Amino acid sequence: MAKASEIKVGNILRFNGELVTVTEILHRTPGKGGAFYLGKFRNIKTGKIVEARLGTDEQVEICRVETNDYQYLYEEGDYFVVMDNESFEQFSVAKELFGESAKFIKEGMSVIVSFESEEPIMAQAPNFVELLVTYAEPAVKGDTSSGAQKMVTTENGIELRVPLFVNEGDKLKVDTRTGEYVERVK
């Protein structure tokens, strides 16, 4: 247990039985009454923002969170199986922790997972991935107005809008946060 005065932005706390990350913490000293802290916390599971007023000596539980790189091995139902690169221990991580970027993950890729007491609480795919184009519609002659795009399908079944010059067999760099084409990789 720690005092409210020891809280820093980025800490992960157990607040009202839920895991939250501190997004903002302000110290207030009003003219009348005692000093206090105003905190903004984001619930890790729901993403909901909670505001709280904490006394300076109020006890809070700062959770010990370990964040490491893991290698994605395979999919098993609603879980991704990842392996620690040093101990070779395997863990099952819920797909929902990766959010929308889960569809871009492929075997052998390095991912970041945060654990709090043996339970995965946060997961993140790399910001950019390279995917092979398995199907590309042919470019239509004359359809060369500025910014013309076509649909392609990648090796893991994702359909993307790309410029007309992209062909089947090309490797693409894709932003996993937005799901958009970035560039063609040589």
Contact 56, 35 (CB under 8 A): yes
* Domain range for 10: 2-62
> pLDDT by residue (tens digit) across 122-145?
899 999 999 999 998 887 766 566
- On whether the pTM is more than 0.85, the answer is no
Percent of the chain at pLDDT exceeding 70: 96
Contact 91, 119 (CB under 8 A): no
pLDDT at res. 74: 93
Contact 82, 122 (CB under 8 A): no
Distance of alpha carbon 58 from the chain centroid: 31
The string of DSSP codes covering the chain is -EEGGG--TT-EEEETTEEEEEEEEEEE--SSS--EEEEEEEETTT--EEEEEEETT-EEEE--EEEEEEEEEEEETTEEEEEETTT--EEEEEGGGTGGGGGG--TT-EEEEEEETTEEEEEE--SEEEEEEEEEPPPPTT--STT-EEEEEETTS-EEEEETT--TT-EEEEETTTTEEEEEE-
Among the candidates 124, 139, 157, a domain finishes at: 124
CATH of the domain at 16: 2.30.30.30
Q: Are residues 95 and 135 in the same domain?
A: no
For 9, the token pair is 């932005």
Q: Total structural domains in the chain?
A: 3
CATH of the domain at 114: 2.40.50.140
The identity of residue 138, as a single letter, is P
pLDDT at res. 119: 85
- Mean residue pLDDT of the chain comes to 89
Q: What is the mean pLDDT of each run of 10 residues along the chain (186 residues)?
A: 88 89 92 90 88 90 89 93 92 90 90 89 91 85 70 90 88 91 89
Among the candidates 46, 62, 78, a domain finishes at: 62
